[in-house]
Structure 1
Amino acid sequence: MAEFDILENELRGMVGNHYTQVPGVGAVLIKDGKPVFSFCGGYAVLGAEPRHFKMDSLFRIASISKQFTIYAVLQLIEEGKLSLDADISDFLGFKLRHPEFPDTVISVKMLANHTSGLRDGMVYCIPPEYSVRAFFVPEGKFYEDGAHFSPVNEPVGEFFSYCNLNYGLLGTIVEAVSKERFDHYVQNHVLKALDITGGYLPGNLSLNEFASLGTLYQKKDIAGNWRDDMPWRPVMDNFRGIKPAWDTVTMQNPYVLHDDLRVYSLDNYTPGTNATFFAPQGGLRISLEGMYNALLMLMNRGSFRGKEFLKEASINEMLRIQWSYDGHNGDTGDDTLLSYGLGLYQIRGDTSSRVHPQQDIFLIGHTGQAFGLYSGMFFAPGSRDGFLYIINGVGLSEDDVRSKGKFSGNFIWEETIMSALYEGLNKK
């Protein structure tokens, strides 16, 4: 449509091979629950047999995955099998307490809103042969000298710190309660209900789904040094057309990429002991089409295509502010996370998390960022207006001054695409 020519030109200009350009980008603009504009440019896969970025291209969607974990948790709560205030120790098979706060229960809600007092450390996804207990006891292989616990001045239940391990534990709890493997539960009860194609294990995708799987890229050399002058280097899901074996998994720890080289079989995995290797915090592979279905359900307060997916009260619990920053009670991630719900967060247009340099708009949703991917999925509460996007690679380090936003705490790629989409959203 001619009215979106400026938006399309801005998105098209993001694709390229220099500085802040990206290998591929896709976006959708939604008004009154209907897609009014969509764009896909660049490539989902580069190399000898390149594939164009498409609406149905699947990508490891990073932290947008968190809301799908919350959907599973809320379904089990609606069935009376779980509660937000439950002690997570009751489901993990061992007593988990912060050593500095031994009398404070760590609840399901604290995991979901990142006030649990737990921390990622260097590794937060571990092989299926281990229990999650290995993170938290001194004799555990992944204890990291207590790095998975907050310092004493960041109390449990009060201090916010974004922690991917929280969602690995939520995935493990979903297994313990449902008696289903985490990926199976989400596939059977969440993705199917929302008519979403995808999954957590590339080897378990159908042949058609696997053929749609995109790769994530960065401009890093083998030693991990960022270099502007080198071609795009594949970082995640670079299978070169060879489908992994069924029920196999590799670790997904961004800080220790060498772990990704080893493949583990799930033949002997016991559900309810350790779902971290599925990456419930970020490992879901879905497309822009799938993201649209999930966002439509949120905007419809739990209803999808005329059927109740979740009760409106459950959606309200996801959307409402569970924690907010008072100047001292959290790590705000460059002042972009100033309040948080359950697997979703809120953006106020008059704060450093804003998506537009001038306009004041309130949004709810989530971004994703890992292995070169940037994604976003937001809507204006009280409406059915929103947007979503996927970028499948970046060529600059987060520490490079050129990657910083110009008017917010967001990165330049996020600022560029979200401000352009917001402008499109407000065209009359």
Structure 2
Amino acid sequence: MIAQKISSLILFSMFIGSTYAQTNDPIFNKLTNKLEQIAGDGPIVGFSVAIVNEDGTLFESGFGFADKKANIKYTENSLQNIGSISKTFIGIALLKAQELGKLNLNDDINDYLPFKVVHPKFKNTPITIRQLASHTSSIKDPAEYEGKGYILKEAENGDAKVNGNFRSPDEMMSLGDYLEAILSEDGKWYKKKTFSKYPPGGMFNYSNIGAGLAAYVLEQATGESFPAFTQKHIFDPLEMTSSGWSFDTIDLSMHSKLYADAETELAFYKLVNYPDGGLISSSHDLAKYLSEIISGYAGSGTILSEESYELLFKPQLTDENHKDRSDREYNDEYNMGVFMGMSSKGQIGHTGGDPSVVTHMFFNEKTKTGKLLLVNTELDKKSVQEFIAIWRALIAHENEL
């Protein structure tokens, strides 16, 4: 839900690192100088960017601070939560599990779950894995998604801001228990209104809970934890050596501070429903991932079969699935593959947002050039203009690179 609000605000209004951007190449210098100028003039504390194609990374760099007080620069290797870009990893994982014969996207989710999930008004209509992956499952995000889903990393956080909906570390629970509490008729937070008035397979309704449920279905189908499965089939093959789903799986010294505003640190937190937005990564690692996705689109991907990649990008939605279908260039909800967003203007990827985290990752289906942006600061009316300026700078230079 937070990701949708941030995305709407923004939408309305071979590895070559930063050292290369300091050479005599005029394109690199022009882009670097432009981003440095934007960073110096704006309230965003720190951010990193990358531009890639199917052959690899064309440009990557960081700007501003990962820790303002300690004067630690934000670089392409700085780590932070990437928000709902994480959902695209669920899509890749589901398709890999289907390749392995562990599940089928058309399966009823109750074929795998240890508790039942049914639409209270359409009890005889199964909810399928494909519907979860295209946000047509009829499952909505209840108040407990934000009210119970953010857990403080530490009980004591000094001067760092603690949001009102951040829960104590002792309230952490497993993904399965959390989903059962919300979606099972016997669950302690169950409400019929968590399901929309439409049947499964009907209207598009972006669902973070549905995404977490898809990852949980994968765990039940494969007998492996979601972190272990993605490590084996995505991170390791792509040499994403700095990425992980929890603080204890990454180098915490490389993790950026998060900022509620230009001067206020936000306390570190984790997500109970972590598959929907909790991947911790860097622009350097994500650039490898985006390059692989572009390669898959072009027919030369390595971590999925050609058939699976075709399914990843196959549009699942029509006008009948939408009440209001926006044609903005970077609207990742115009159409949906398998947790892969598609705009009406040929941009494929995903946006992301959580407290003090804003991210964009897209590639152009015609030029097969992609770009990504990770920000460590909560956006307001002023900083969203900086975000837009950064993104426009990347747009202006991606084809030159």
TM-score by length of 2: 0.78
Deviation at residue 195 of structure 1 after TM alignment:
0.8
Q: Distance in 2 between matches of 1:234 and 1:387?
A: 27
Retained in 2: the 8 A contact 1:120–1:147?
Answer: no
Cα–Cα, structure 1 residues 375 and 70, in superposed 2: closer, same or farther, change >3 Å?
same
Q: Distance in 2 between matches of 1:170 and 1:364?
A: 21
SS of 2:276 mapped into structure 1: coil
Say whether 1:289 aligns with 2:284: yes
- 1:199 is matched with 244
Quick check: which one's helix share is greater? Answer: 2
Match of 2:39 among 2, 8, 15: 15
Deviation at residue 26 of structure 1 after TM alignment:
1.1
Say whether 1:298 aligns with 2:293: yes
Retained in 2: the 8 A contact 1:32–1:383?
Answer: no
Cα–Cα, structure 1 residues 302 and 95, in superposed 2: closer, same or farther, change >3 Å?
same
Retained in 2: the 8 A contact 1:62–1:373?
Answer: yes
Q: Distance in 2 between matches of 1:193 and 1:73?
A: 16
Q: Aligned AA for 1:210?
A: L
Say whether 1:369 aligns with 2:401: no
Match of 2:264 among 232, 240, 252: 232
- 1:103 is matched with 124
Retained in 2: the 8 A contact 1:63–1:366?
Answer: yes
5+ unaligned residues in a row in structure 1: which ranges?
220-229, 238-249, 253-276, 350-361, 404-410
Retained in 1: the 8 A contact 2:352–2:360?
Answer: yes
- 1:217 is matched with 259
Show the 5 A alignment for 1:350-369.
362-369=346-353
Show the 5 A alignment for 1:236-251.
236=268, 250=270
> Aligned pairs, how many?
348
Show the 5 A alignment for 1:35-114.
35-47=57-69, 49-114=70-135
Q: Aligned AA for 1:299?
A: I
1:130-185 per-position Cα deviation (integer Å, ceiling 9, x unaligned): 25221124542222x334211x2x33212111111111101111211121122222
Q: Distance in 2 between matches of 1:307 and 1:279?
A: 26
- 1:419 is matched with 392
Retained in 1: the 8 A contact 2:292–2:302?
Answer: no
Q: Distance in 2 between matches of 1:17 and 1:394?
A: 16
Q: Aligned AA for 1:370?
A: D
SS of 2:308 mapped into structure 1: helix
SS of 2:94 mapped into structure 1: helix
Deviation at residue 40 of structure 1 after TM alignment:
1.2
Q: Distance in 2 between matches of 1:93 and 1:392?
A: 37
Retained in 1: the 8 A contact 2:369–2:399?
Answer: no
Retained in 2: the 8 A contact 1:61–1:375?
Answer: yes
Retained in 1: the 8 A contact 2:57–2:291?
Answer: no
- Greater relative contact order structure (CA < 8 Å, 6+ sep): 2
- 1:3 is matched with 27
Percent identity over paired residues: 26
Retained in 2: the 8 A contact 1:218–1:235?
Answer: no
Retained in 1: the 8 A contact 2:92–2:312?
Answer: no
Retained in 2: the 8 A contact 1:368–1:374?
Answer: yes
SS of 2:400 mapped into structure 1: coil
Match of 2:216 among 139, 151, 172: 172
Q: Distance in 2 between matches of 1:69 and 1:284?
A: 11
Q: Distance in 2 between matches of 1:186 and 1:232?
A: 34
5+ unaligned residues in a row in structure 2: which ranges?
1-24, 150-171
Q: Distance in 2 between matches of 1:412 and 1:121?
A: 31
Q: Distance in 2 between matches of 1:346 and 1:340?
A: 6
Match of 1:134 among 181, 187, 191: 181
Deviation at residue 295 of structure 1 after TM alignment:
1.1
